[in-house]
Amino acid sequence: MTMQLCPCGSGSAYNTCCEPYLTGRAIPALPEQLMRSRYTAFCRREINYLIATHHPSQREPNDRRTLGESIRETEWLSLRVLQTQQAPAADKGAIEFVAFYRNQGTVGQLHERSEFVREDGRWYYLHGRQLPPLILGRNDPCWCGSGKKVKQCHQ
């Protein structure tokens, strides 16, 4: 039996990584776990999870429709966590990441600093600030997650 790797890029099996969060069997204990599970939810088109983990104060009435349209048009390719900020007992955290995607045949990236807040023992995505695109050098790991350098993979 082949192990299905989690889309979040952790290197762990999906069934022991993000699946317990997406199915409600567990709740993320850290902002990075929530961010990775939300990325996986985008990959797997789990709109209910995305809405449930978005802070209630930031939800919009048309979120389900907007997410549905976006998810249908986008194939998420890989995730790279660049920086995680959270004090051990803090109720706020921030993650800087870049997520690579394909939309209508064109590869792009979402480079963002996401803010998270913990309320009543649960972490929520609060909001994100888009950052300038990450410039990959020829010797950097390729965005596709192959483990090869950009110059040997996708140039």
Residue 141 has pLDDT above 90, yes or no: no
Cα–Cα distance measured from residue 67 to residue 52, given in angstroms and rounded to the nearest whole number? 13
Cα–Cα distance measured from residue 82 to residue 93, given in angstroms and rounded to the nearest whole number? 14
Confidence at 93, pLDDT banded by 50, 70, 90: very high
37 membership: H or E segment, kind and range: helix 31-44
Looking at residue 1, its pLDDT comes to 56
**What is the domain class of 14-152 according to CATH?**
alpha beta
Confidence at 151, pLDDT banded by 50, 70, 90: confident
- Whether the full predicted model's pTM is greater than 0.85, yes or no, is yes
Residue 129 has pLDDT above 90, yes or no: yes
Looking at residue 152, its pLDDT comes to 86
- Compute the radius of gyration of the chain from its Cα atoms: 16
Phi-psi group of 45: left, alpha or beta (phi > 0 → left; psi -120 to 50 → alpha; rest → beta): left
Q: What is the mean pLDDT of residues 70-94?
A: 89
Residue 122 has pLDDT above 70, yes or no: yes
* Nearest residue to 23 (alpha-carbon basis) of 46, 57, 43, 7: 46
* Nearest residue to 58 (alpha-carbon basis) of 1, 121, 127, 108: 127
